Every structure is written in structure tokens, then in C-alpha cells.
Amino acid sequence: MHKDINNHFNKGDFLDNPIGSEIYNLAEKLFPICRSLTGDGVRQTLNIMREECPSLTLFEVPTGTAAFDWVVPKEWEIRDAYIKDLEGSTVLSFKDSNLHVVGYSAPFNRELSREELLKMIHTLPDKPTLIPYVTSYYKEYSGFCMAFNDVQNLNKDRYRAVIESELKDGSLTYGEILIPGKSEKEIFFSSNICHPTLANNELSGPCLSLYLAKRAIAQSRSSRYSYRFIFIPETIGSLVYMSRNLEKMKENIIAGFVVTCAGDNRSYSYLSSRRGDTLADRAAKNTLNFTHQDYKSYPYLERGSDERQYCAPGIDLPVCSLMRSKYGEYPEYHTSADNMELISPEGFEGSYALYCKVIDSLENNRTYKAVFLGEPQLGKRDLYPTVSYSGSAAGVRDMMNLLAYADGEVDLIGISDIIKVPMDELSRLAIKLESAGLLERK
Amino acid sequence: MHKDINNHFNKGDFLDNPIGSEIYNLAEKLFPICRSLTGDGVRQTLNIMREECPSLTLFEVPTGTAAFDWVVPKEWEIRDAYIKDLEGSTVLSFKDSNLHVVGYSAPFNRELSREELLKMIHTLPDKPTLIPYVTSYYKEYSGFCMAFNDVQNLNKDRYRAVIESELKDGSLTYGEILIPGKSEKEIFFSSNICHPTLANNELSGPCLSLYLAKRAIAQSRSSRYSYRFIFIPETIGSLVYMSRNLEKMKENIIAGFVVTCAGDNRSYSYLSSRRGDTLADRAAKNTLNFTHQDYKSYPYLERGSDERQYCAPGIDLPVCSLMRSKYGEYPEYHTSADNMELISPEGFEGSYALYCKVIDSLENNRTYKAVFLGEPQLGKRDLYPTVSYSGSAAGVRDMMNLLAYADGEVDLIGISDIIKVPMDELSRLAIKLESAGLLERK
Amino acid sequence: MHKDINNHFNKGDFLDNPIGSEIYNLAEKLFPICRSLTGDGVRQTLNIMREECPSLTLFEVPTGTAAFDWVVPKEWEIRDAYIKDLEGSTVLSFKDSNLHVVGYSAPFNRELSREELLKMIHTLPDKPTLIPYVTSYYKEYSGFCMAFNDVQNLNKDRYRAVIESELKDGSLTYGEILIPGKSEKEIFFSSNICHPTLANNELSGPCLSLYLAKRAIAQSRSSRYSYRFIFIPETIGSLVYMSRNLEKMKENIIAGFVVTCAGDNRSYSYLSSRRGDTLADRAAKNTLNFTHQDYKSYPYLERGSDERQYCAPGIDLPVCSLMRSKYGEYPEYHTSADNMELISPEGFEGSYALYCKVIDSLENNRTYKAVFLGEPQLGKRDLYPTVSYSGSAAGVRDMMNLLAYADGEVDLIGISDIIKVPMDELSRLAIKLESAGLLERK
């Protein structure tokens, strides 16, 4: 399938985007698998990810286990599905696209009139060449999805529709990577592994997440914080996870992110937590203001992924979401066009770089206090140009501004917001001034 | 006088505005009476109102009674007033308009030169056909008011000016309707019955107020709050009322409104309380934002009625004002053109509807808390479309948003402000979710 | 030198600006002196100022004395400096302008090649006719400053460069005027006497300051607050002063101002304290909003004078800065063009008037509480026009607004901000209402 990629992207894309390409290659391996809330698609996906990152641990939670207001559903197994006319000609096959079957469809095998069949088929009349993505998780239902144009070719009177699926007691599978740092306080990342053959929403999320985990592992010896990455089905997965871990999460998570829609190469988007001013929000907005000033900012009212659970009343974790094009806002969303052509090495490279910057700014975020009353004398410490004339102050302005705001109350992210110096530069400055004995950590 | 109305308004106005018409008819009955701070005009007015609403109780407070820095003034009685030339031709008569006499004018009977007379006559040179409304409550004075054009016709040398009035010990009269609800906490309405033949400012206020009281009586069995309506002369009336009831008012009033200028059919206006963020302000602004987004908002600096007393330092009741065209802001204000043609059944119908919406939103305003951690499962409760695809979320968005913000801290009005769902809809949703066991009242 | 002035300004300038002219005349006397951080230039300056205001006390702090992170530097004495060609022709002489020598230059006497000499000479290529102002306080260095155009004329191969200076143990000199008022709480003014022949930045500051001190002395018997004026070298001076007085300063200073760039007649400028909302900031902004609505407002990020020390973390005094054209923002800044032509009697007159207004508004700033519940009756106290008609309320609006906001919490400056009445008028009104028994001081 690498050939396929080479059709979409120039070789340069891969050379220029080394990490983005690795993430893209992982997505490509996982793309064809038919994932759902539960079942072997999820397990297969997590097992392939575990090959990339052996720290990934899998958990199985049995059907029927309660999670707040919810219960782990039956496991869904699908072997095949098709629609044939009575002469045996196939008009739709699950093997062509697993989007053709409504997710969690109950077993079905009947001869139907054309009219009866049409009632089972979901289409997108305004995007007539695309297959929609439809699920029916919590009510028994059987259905198909087709391109609107293809439905127009169904001109026989009767058809046979078959879904060889099974809904059975089993378990919900999720994965977790925990990378301990110096502190038990942790930075949290959540992504979904429940979508079938859809690339940006949602395969891009867990793929990027896994590479962020690999980076955290590589840097774990020097990390200040612990890192937790979870790979869960949407909604039920976060509820199951929280029903088992909420107390610890509330105690330890200082900032968290829902990682989704991370692979296309269009805008950058930020979706607020409910409170809007948590450390996660502050780090995300501070970074974007320096790196992608034209980023799109969405209020919590526009939420749509697991931040709905993490920020719910009584839970209130500091979790926001950083994306490229936000779910629901791009035309290919939840259709067969959300495929490997929509995402790109460059798209992943950008998301990866953004997340790394946000993570580093959290690692570097400390609260400093000036050691001396009044401005310190930079000159005697070789921190200041000794010959001053009109204009020379500009060169040391950042250092002086940092010292002027380091009052032991505002953290570096807050100072960065005020003095408009990006966190990487600011934290280097802070360490320099700390070494010079001018700042001390609170 | 009903003919007169039929000249101003089409029959359709009355059919389309059933409550507005009733209020208008009451205003019409009361319009000719010469009201003032005190005296028989006020009593006559309140007695006619009591015929409409027998719950109205009248109170008499004797001249000389102290009210904070004030004292109940003498009662003013006026029998007649006129200006004649020495041949006995009448050039001005109180019988034509009670605006012709400065309110609270002391008795007067003298022959005067033209020059002397002119010094006693108030006019509006920029509105030369209108008689101004002038009073002199707290200093003895005698004077007349005329249309500027009519003054130009005073071409005799000498005149006789007569005011047959009396200022005598008596009492200040006010009315009150108290409608107990389930709680002693109450919603408070204050309107003025001290203006003479002026329609929008001020007769519209007590007329609308009386019909709001009739509605509260009709709904009293199911009302959560008590309702109090007072009908008082401006300034001295509110001070007298508060000097007798302040402690209870501070304890019980959760929201209050100065009801004035409610009958014309032009803009809607809101005048802030001093604090600006009381429950009364919040309910008023929330309602107007959904029903009349183009409403005019006036700061407390533009105040001019009894909110001056209710919001004074040390009193600080949660009282704002909802009006159609605000006093002082429309050209007919305090002139003979503020008459029955300025107000209309439609004008009253709109004010009545607005006040009802605000009242209902206060009745419905509660603070809810989500019962479950995380989003509840709407599907198993038949609250959610079970087949989900791109876009379907829109239909349940309001329900999910309510659940997402129901944190036991923000009340429904606050949530309505955030999620942009009007209070009637939102409170229906809240009750539905409460019945489904998903929300609980705080 | 008075002739010189008469060249710059019409006689009318002096007649129209009586105080501004006196301040200008003082600046003129002091202008030629070669001031620096320390040394006889400073002493000479302060002695001349003491002739104007005998309350000025001088302090000497020995070289080597510690001040927080700093140490009082050696005293700089300069007798002469020049550059000559080997034929003895002078190409630069300290006697022509003391800006020709880099401030604090170490002794120097060498024959140099043209190339070597050029490395010692600072110019402003974009302002080729002006001599820059350059210092090297805290690292030993010797250098010259010249107009860029004049450097082009240096066409000899070799030159002799001589700086007859001395860096020796001595002391830092500063001046202070303390004017006790009824309270030990004080208003603080800081200005710099360390700049050589530069007029707006910095001579205008101490000259204006001295005249504000003379006014405070004249009014001291009726002053509510104490007044402190200090005349210090920039940075090291404020640090030295605070290292000796910080505890008392923190206890007593209610508002302080860095007085600088006060003599040109262009804009008015305000530079915020670090907190931005101290009493000093509030008084300054309130006054400017009434007197010079087009003033320029600079955030603390644009700071550049001793507010850097006064607002530093852990010190946090309520100090902001009021200027005409801010340092660094006008083209003549730190060049030989910042001379007596740049500043003017009119410029000083405006600054003086502005500071007086700010001072008076601090003196007049009190917190009042209404004595009566509800509005008081102005009529019986002859505070209200007794015949009321449409519009008459305007005349007493300010009085009523003051009463409406006098809740014992908001001070007069706060009320002035809300009701848009300038402090002088508002405080007169408050005293009138206090005398009438309607307001009481908190």
C-alpha cells in the first residue's frame, strides 16, 4: 500500500516530515481494520500499536459492568454483510468498505422488496458519492450505508440483505500507557479507537498519541511529570475508565488533552474545557498564540468528544482538545472521504510539533520569585550590555520583563502571556537567571 | 368615550390584543381624573381599580408622618382654576385640562398685569402646541401651564387669575395587593398613581400592574413566590412605604420592578438597578435578549423613577425597570401629548407579555445538579435518537448542554445565558430531565 | 542666557505661563552642568535647587555602600576631554558639549590611528547632525560621542584622544524634601538628577518636582497628607533610597509618581504601575480622562525609569508615571537635540497644572456614606429647584448621582469615574452635602 501513499504525497513529504511519516505509516497499517466500540477490531488495533510501543497495556472490562449511568455493552462481531439481487449479483459488500454496515448492526438475513430495503439504507444526498458513517450502539438495529448515487442503481424488485454479525457477552477493550516521572502529578492524553475505516476522525488521534507516548518514554528520566495515554472507545470508554480511576485522576491530572482529528493539514483548532481557564487551556492557548495565531478557538458549547465526560459537572478535570480541523467542521467528516488521502505526514508533523511544544511548556512551567528587591545588577553578571545608549535596552528587555513579573504568584505561562515571549525562550531565560542567583523557584 | 378609541385604533387592535384592550379600557376610565401626590384624585383612582381587583387594599398615612428624611405633605384639593380677562372672557380653564394648573398650586385670586401674569405661566416654546406638566410639591407656589402658541394671544393689559385650591392636613393614600404563594419570598412591583391626565407616564404603569396582579391571583395556587403590587405616589410614596416595611422587604424581595411607561407601542427599554446584576436584572435581560434583542438598555445613571429609592445606598433592593419608551426619552413626555392616543391596546399587550415572561422565568428559575457523573445515557431513557450519524446531535444539543452546565452552582437563567435556550424551553427540558432522574434540584 | 530664551519663545509664553516660566528659568540655570550618577555636577545642581527651596536636604552615601543587589559606584570627576590631530587642531572638545564624552569614561590619553579612534566614537547615522548620549556606568570604558556628519570630516591618519577624568572613592549624592501634613501617610515624587546636558529627559523632572514641592510647602498647613520629593540618580539612586527607607515607604506611601519628561509641549502620557490599579494609577487616569482625553496610555511593559524599582516584586509601591512625551518615544530622546528648545514654559505650565489636579484629587479623595435611607429631600435644604418640569432634573443630577453612589464603599475617585464629574467639582459637592447633613465621611 506504500505505492498508494506515493500517489498521494511526494517523496519530499516523507523526507521533510520524519515523525509525521512514521505516524502516517502506522495509521496506514491500522486503517483497514473494522473497529467498533468493542470487539476484535479494537484488539487487533491495540495489538499492532503494542508492537510499536510495548509499554501499552490492554484491559478487558466485561459486558454488563456498570460505569456511572452506563453499562458495558455486548461485544459486536461481524464476519460479513452484503446485499444481492435474487440472481446473486452483489450490489453492496462489507468487504469493499466496512462503512457499508451500520455499526453494531444486529444479525439480519431476509429477502426484501426494494422499498423495504431502501428503508434500511442510509445515504448522504448532498454528498452523493460518499458513504456515510452510521452507528446504532444502544438500540438493536440493522442497517446499511451507501453512496446516494449507487442507491439510484437499485432497480430490481427484490433483494436479499444479509448481516452476519453477532452481539454477545464479551468485553470492552482499552489500552493504557503510563510513564512515571519525578512527580505523580500527570499530564493526560485520551484518544479513541472505536471508529472503523475513518482516518482523521479518529485514527489520527491514537496514532499521534502513541508517538507522543514514545517521546515521553524516551524523555522519562528527565521528565518532571508522569504521562498517561489512554486508548478507549468514545463515551463508554472514558466513562468506564473514569469509573475505575476517577479519584486518582482528580488528584493527579494537572492538564489533559483529547487528541483527535490530528492528521489533516488545514487549520489548527482549540476546544475549551468547561471552565476555560485550566492549566491545559492556558498552555494550549499560550502555545497557539505564538505558533499559529490564526488558530480556530471553539467554546465548550461546540464540544463533541470525550471532554464531554472529562469536564462534566462533578468530574471537572482540566481537559481541553487540540486538533487540526475540528470534527463536524470539515466536509469529509463521518464519510468515506475521511480516508488516507485526507491526512498526511505533514499534517501529523504539525500536530506532533504543536503537542510537543504544549507538553514542554507544561514541563517548563514554574513559578519564580526574584531573589533581590529591585532590579538586580545584570552588568556585574555579564548579563547586560555595559555601554548603554538609546535603543540598547531592547536586547535585554525580555530578561528584565521576566524579572519584573517574577513575583512568586504568576507562573511562567502567565508571564509569557503578559510579556509575549514564548515559553521555550522564557524558560531558558528563567534557568539562566536562576543559575545567576537572581530567581528562585517557589 | 369608547368612540374616541375607535377613532384611534382599528377594531382589529382590540380583537388581536385581548388583555391589552382590557388594560387600555381601564386606563381610559382613569385618564380624566386629576391625580396628584395626595388627595381625592388618588382615592378615586384606587377605588376604580379596586372595582377591577377587590384584593386591592387602601392605606392612609397622615400628613406630617415622617419617612426617612421626608414628611408626608399636606393634602391638595383643587376645585377650579381659570384666567379671565376683565370682561370675563375665559382664556384658560382647569376644566379643559388639569395640566393647566401647576401641581400643588396654592390658592390664588388676583388681578394682574399681563407682565405679572406671564411670569406665572409655564410653556414649551419648542413644542408650541403642547401644555407642559409642572409641579411644585415641596415649596408653596401658584402657577399655570399653557401652550406657547396660546400665550401669544394674551393681548389684554390686565387679567384675573384664580386657583381655587386648598392645602390642608389630610393623608397620603396608597394601595397594595399581596398575593401569598408557597414561599414568603416575593416578587415586587411598584407603580405610581400621582400623575394627572398623563397616559404613558404614568397611568400605564398602575393599569398594567393591576392586570399582572389579577394574573398572579388567578395563578396563586400554583405560584412558588408571593407577589406584591404597590400603587403609590412617586418618591414620597416609596419612601413612606419603605419606612413602614423595609425590614420585611429586604428579607423577602428576590426581584422587583418599577412598572412605568408601559403603554406606547415603540421600543422596549430596560433600566438597570444600581448593582446591575441582581436577579431582577438578570431575569429582565435574559428575557429581552430572546424576545426583543433590539431593546434599549439604560444604565442606573439614567434612572428617574422609584428605583432611585429602592436602590439607594443602605436599601439596595434588587429592583430594575422594564418599560416601552423610557420617561424623558420620548417627545410627548410630561406634556399634554402624553394622552390616550400615545398608548394603545397593542402597546399594553406587548408589555404584559414581556412581564409575564420575566415573571415565569423567575418562577421557573432553579439550580439543578446532574445526578450522574459524566453524561447520562439518554438512549435507554428514550431521550436520544438511537441511530447516530453526522448532524443528528443537533436535535439533543440543548438537553446535553443543560446537563453539561447543571453543576449545582449556575441557575437556569445563568445556563440560559450561556447555552442560548430561552427560559420557558429550558425549564421544560429541566423538568423532563428531572422526571427522568437525571437532574436534581438544589 | 535669557536672550537665548527670547529667541525660542515669545514674551507671551512667559506672561501666559507664570509658573511654567519659573520652572523653565530654573531648568535653564541647571542645563549646562555636567551631571552624572555621582560627582560634583550633581552637588552643584542640588545646591542651586536648594537656593530655590531651602527645605531640600542633601545626603551623601559612600562609594561601596550596598543597596540590595547593587553597590554605590566610584565617584566620577571629569575635568576635560578632547580629540586633536597631531598638528594640535581640536576636532572634538568636552567644553563644547559634555555629551561628547561617554558618561563615566575612564581616564584616557593615547595617540591613535584613525581606525582605532573610530572604534571609540559613537554616532547616530540616522540622525547625522546629533550627538548621542551614551554612558558606561558599571564597566570600565572610555569613549566619545559625535555627530555622524562630523565623523566624516576626520580625514587625518592619526589623532590624540584625551579624557582627563578620575574614578575615585567618594559618594552618591541625593536630595530630599519632606513636608509633613496632618497624616503620616504620604504622596511621593521621584525625579532624576543624573543626566548631563539633556533638557526634557531629565532636567524637566527635578525642576517640575521642585515647584510641586514649593506648592506643597505653601499649602502644608491645610494638607491632609505628607509630601516627599526625592532627587536621585536613576536606578542606583532609587535602590539606595529604598534600601534605607523601604519599611517606612511601604507603610506610608499611598500614591507615588515618577516625574520625568515634563517640559515639552506635545502629548500627555501615563505609564501604568505594575499592578495598574493602585490609587496613584486611579487618580492619574481619572484626572487625565477629564483634562486630556487624548492622553497616551503606556502599559508597565513600556516602563523605563525608576518605577522599575518602585514596582518590582516584593517592593510593589503604588507608583506610576505622568509625562508629556514619554522617554524613548520622541525623536530628540537621548541626543543633543533634547535641549532648551525642546522644552518650554507652556510645556511646564501644563505638566504643573496636571500634577496639581492629581494631587488635589488625592487630597480630596474620601469615602462618603449617605446619612438617610432613600434620597434625601433637597428642596427643604434649598438644594433643589422647587418647581420641577421636564428637564429641570439635569441641574441637580450630579448631586443626586453622588448621593446615589455614596455607599461607604466606593471612594470619590471611583464615583467620579462612574458619574463623570471631575474630582474638584465632585469634592465641592461632597462638602456641600456633608455640611447639609446628607453625607458623612467613613
* Smallest Cα distance from A412 to chain B, Å: 31
User: Which alpha helices (H) appear in A163-234, and where do they start and end?
Assistant: 204-218
Nearest in space to C127 (alpha carbons), one of B20, B39, A391 = A391
Give pLDDT tens digits for A198-230.
Answer: 999 989 999 999 999 999 999 999 999 999 999
- Residues A333 and A378 both lie in one domain: no
Chain B residues whose beta carbon lies within 8 Å of the beta carbon of residue C419:
301
Question: Does the residue A77 lie in any domain?
Answer: no
**Is the model's pLDDT at B388 over the cut of 70?**
no
Q: Which three cell numbers stand for residue C307?
A: 518605577
> Based on the number of CB atoms within 10 Å of its own CB, is C432 exposed (0-12), middle (13-18) or buried (19 or more)?
middle
Q: Which three cell numbers stand for residue A190?
A: 485520551
Q: Which three cell numbers stand for residue B174?
A: 396608597
Q: Rounded to 5 degrees, what angle do the CA atoms B188, B190, B196 make?
A: 165
Concatenated DSSP letters of A266-279: S--EEE--SSS-SH
Give pLDDT tens digits for A324-333.
Answer: 999 999 999 9
User: Among all residues of chain A, which has the CA nearest to that of B405?
Assistant: A313
Question: Does the residue B78 lie in any domain?
Answer: no
- Of the ranges A6-10, B310-314, C84-88, which one carries the lowest mean pLDDT score? A6-10
Percent of chain C with pLDDT over 70: 95
Q: C-alpha distances in angstroms, C401 versus B192, B270, B321?
A: 22, 19, 18
Chain A residues whose beta carbon lies within 8 Å of the beta carbon of residue B405:
274, 313
Q: C-alpha distances in angstroms, C301 versus A63, A405, C346?
A: 59, 10, 30
**Is the model's pLDDT at A387 over the cut of 80?**
no
Alpha-carbon gap, residue A143 to A280, rounded angstroms: 40
Percent of chain B with pLDDT over 90: 89
Give pLDDT tens digits for C35-80.
Answer: 999 999 999 999 999 999 999 999 999 999 999 999 999 999 999 9
With cell 463515551, the residue in question is A235
Average pLDDT over residues A152-169: 95
DSSP B200: I
- Residues A418 and A434 both lie in one domain: yes
Question: Does the residue A42 lie in any domain?
Answer: yes
| Among A380, A400, A406, beta carbon nearest to C313 | A406
Chain A residues whose beta carbon lies within 8 Å of the beta carbon of residue C311:
404
Q: Classify strands C66-67 and C70-71 as parallel, antiparallel or unpaired.
A: antiparallel
Asked if A387 lies within 8 A of C143 by C-beta distance, the reply is: yes
Q: Classify strands A296-298 and A269-271 as parallel, antiparallel or unpaired.
A: parallel
- Residues A232 and A354 both lie in one domain: yes
Asked if C418 lies within 8 A of B69 by C-beta distance, the reply is: no
Per-residue 3-state assignment (H helix, E strand, C coil) for C184-233: CCEEEEEEECCCCCCHHHHHHHHHHHHHHHHHHHHCHHHCCCEEEEEEEC
pLDDT, chain C, mean: 93
Average pLDDT over residues A289-310: 97
Dihedral pair phi/psi, residue C138, rounded to 5°: -115, 15
Q: How far apart, in Å, do the first and last CA atoms of chain B sit?
A: 54
Give pLDDT tens digits for B417-433.
Answer: 999 999 999 999 999 99
Which domain range does residue C242 map to? 3-72+171-364
pLDDT at A386: 52
| Among C138, C243, C314, beta carbon nearest to A386 | C138
With cell 434500511, the residue in question is A120
pLDDT at C2: 42
With cell 590619553, the residue in question is C109
Question: Does the residue C149 lie in any domain?
Answer: yes
- Residues A213 and A312 both lie in one domain: yes
Question: Does the residue C77 lie in any domain?
Answer: no
pLDDT at A380: 81
Q: Classify strands C66-67 and C186-192 as parallel, antiparallel or unpaired.
A: unpaired
Tell me the residues of B at the A interface, defined by beta carbons under 8 Å apart. 369-370, 372-377, 379-380, 384, 386-390, 393, 400-401, 403-408, 418-419, 438
Q: Is C12 helix (H, G, I), strand (E, B) or coil?
A: helix
Residue B8 vs residue A174, higher pLDDT = A174
Question: Does the residue C103 lie in any domain?
Answer: yes
Task: Tell which of A168, A196, A231 closes a domain.
Answer: A168
Task: Tell which of C142, C168, C194 closes a domain.
Answer: C168
| Among C133, C312, C328, beta carbon nearest to A374 | C312
- Residues B249 and B327 both lie in one domain: yes
Subunits adjacent to chain B (3 or more Cβ pairs under 8 Å):
A, C
Angle B423-435/B397-405 helices, nearest 10 degrees? 80
Alpha-carbon gap, residue A402 to A361, rounded angstroms: 16
Residues facing residue B440 across a β-bridge: B369
Nearest in space to B78 (alpha carbons), one of B12, B134, B34 = B34
Nearest in space to C420 (alpha carbons), one of B326, B299, B320 = B299
E-assigned strands of B272-403? 296-298, 319-323, 368-370
Average pLDDT over residues A294-315: 97
- Residues C67 and C157 both lie in one domain: no
Q: Are C136 and C103 in contact (CB under 8 A)?
A: yes
Question: Does the residue C132 lie in any domain?
Answer: yes
pLDDT, chain B, mean: 93
Alpha-carbon gap, residue C89 to C112, rounded angstroms: 15
Nearest in space to A306 (alpha carbons), one of A248, A213, A236, A356 = A236
Interface test with chain B among A65, A69, A135, A306, by most B beta carbons within 10 Å: A69
Average pLDDT over residues A286-315: 97
Chain C residues whose beta carbon lies within 8 Å of the beta carbon of residue B139:
379, 386-387
Q: Is A44 helix (H, G, I), strand (E, B) or coil?
A: helix
**Is the model's pLDDT at B25 over the cut of 80?**
yes
Question: Does the residue A412 lie in any domain?
Answer: yes
* Smallest Cα distance from B421 to chain A, Å: 12
CATH at B255: 3.40.630.10
Residues in contact with B115: Cβ distance below 8 Å, sequence separation at least 6, in sequence order? none
Alpha-carbon gap, residue A409 to C302, rounded angstroms: 21
**Is the model's pLDDT at B7 over the cut of 60?**
no
User: Among all residues of chain B, which has the CA nearest to that of A136?
Assistant: B387
Asked if C138 lies within 8 A of A408 by C-beta distance, the reply is: no
Average pLDDT over residues B364-382: 91
Alpha-carbon gap, residue A229 to A209, rounded angstroms: 7
pLDDT at A13: 73
pLDDT at B99: 96
Question: Residue A302's pLDDT band (boundaries 50, 70, 90)?
Answer: very high
* Smallest Cα distance from C225 to chain B, Å: 29
Question: Residue B311's pLDDT band (boundaries 50, 70, 90)?
Answer: very high
Q: Is A77 helix (H, G, I), strand (E, B) or coil?
A: strand
User: Among all residues of chain A, which has the CA nearest to that of B415?
Assistant: A301
Alpha-carbon gap, residue B12 to B1, rounded angstroms: 18
How many domains are there within chain B?
A: 3
SS3 content of chain A, % helix, strand, coil (to 5): 40, 25, 40
Q: Are C235 and A375 in contact (CB under 8 A)?
A: yes
CATH at C143: 3.50.30.90
pLDDT at B6: 46
**Is the model's pLDDT at A59 over the cut of 90?**
yes
Task: Tell which of C364, C380, C411 closes a domain.
Answer: C364
Give pLDDT tens digits for B225-234.
Answer: 999 999 999 9
User: Which alpha helices (H) appear in A166-301, and where do they start and end?
Assistant: 204-218, 236-252, 279-291
With cell 405560584, the residue in question is B223
Tell me the residues of C at the B interface, defined by beta carbons under 8 Å apart. 369-370, 372-377, 379-380, 384, 386-390, 393, 400-401, 403-408, 418-419, 438
Average pLDDT over residues C345-350: 97
- Residues B115 and B155 both lie in one domain: yes
* Smallest Cα distance from B372 to chain A, Å: 6
- In angstroms, how far is CA B303 from the centroid of its own chain? 13
- Residues A271 and A306 both lie in one domain: yes
Alpha-carbon gap, residue B199 to B212, rounded angstroms: 18
Q: Are C285 and C299 in contact (CB under 8 A)?
A: no
**Is the model's pLDDT at A285 over the cut of 80?**
yes
Q: Are C266 and C344 in contact (CB under 8 A)?
A: no
Residues facing residue C149 across a β-bridge: none
Alpha-carbon gap, residue A283 to C398, rounded angstroms: 47
Chain B residues whose beta carbon lies within 8 Å of the beta carbon of residue A234:
none
User: Among all residues of chain B, which has the CA nearest to that of C437?
Assistant: B69
Alpha-carbon gap, residue B351 to B19, rounded angstroms: 10
- Residues A21 and A143 both lie in one domain: no
- Residues C248 and C211 both lie in one domain: yes
Q: Which three cell numbers stand for residue A154?
A: 437499485
Positive or negative torsion for Cα B251, B252, B257, B260: negative
Concatenated DSSP letters of B23-92: HHHHHHHHTTS---SSSHHHHHHHHHHHHH-TT-EEEEEETT-EETTEEPPPEEEEEEEEEEETT--EEE
> pTM for this structure?
0.91
Chain A residues whose beta carbon lies within 8 Å of the beta carbon of residue C67:
374
pLDDT at A389: 45
User: Among all residues of chain B, which has the CA nearest to that of A144?
Assistant: B387
Per-residue 3-state assignment (H helix, E strand, C coil) for chain A: CHHHHHHHCCHHHHHHCHHHHHHHHHHHHHCCCCCCCCCHHHHHHHHHHHHHCCCCEEEEEECCCEECCEECCCEEEEEEEEEEECCCCEEEECCCCHHHECECCCCEEEEEEHHHHHHHEECCCCCCCCCECCECCCCCCCCEECCHHHHCCCCCCEEEEEEEEEEECCEEEEEEEEECCCCCCEEEEEEECCCCCCHHHHHHHHHHHHHHHHHHHHCHHHCCCEEEEEEECCCHHHHHHHHHHHHHHHHHEEEEEEECCCCECCCCEEECCCCCCCHHHHHHHHHHHHHCCCCEEECHHHCCCCHHHHCCCCCCCCEEEEECCCCCCCCCCCECCCCCCCECHHHHHHHHHHHHHHHHHHHHCCCEEECCCCCCCCHHHCCCCCCEECCHHHHHHHHHHHHHHCECCCCHHHHHHHHCCCHHHHHHHHHHHHHCCCEEEC
Asked if C136 lies within 8 A of A380 by C-beta distance, the reply is: no
Q: C-alpha distances in angstroms, B121 versus B153, C100, C424?
A: 13, 80, 38
Percent of chain B with pLDDT over 70: 95
Chain B residues whose beta carbon lies within 8 Å of the beta carbon of residue A333:
390
Asked if B139 lies within 8 A of C369 by C-beta distance, the reply is: no
Neighbours of A31 (CB within 10 A): 17
Chain C residues whose beta carbon lies within 8 Å of the beta carbon of residue B137:
379, 388
Tell me the residues of C at the A interface, defined by beta carbons under 8 Å apart. 67-70, 102, 122, 124, 132-139, 141, 143, 235, 238-239, 242-243, 246, 274, 300-301, 303-304, 308-309, 311-316, 328, 333-335
Alpha-carbon gap, residue A199 to A201, rounded angstroms: 6
Average pLDDT over residues C237-253: 98
- Residues A67 and A98 both lie in one domain: no
DSSP C300: G
**Is the model's pLDDT at B186 over the cut of 60?**
yes
Number of CB pairs < 8 Å for B and C?
Answer: 90
- Residues A414 and A296 both lie in one domain: no
Asked if C242 lies within 8 A of A375 by C-beta distance, the reply is: no
pLDDT, chain A, mean: 93
Give pLDDT tens digits for C281-326.
Answer: 999 999 999 999 999 999 999 999 999 999 999 999 999 999 999 9
Give pLDDT tens digits for B191-222.
Answer: 999 998 999 999 999 999 999 999 999 999 99
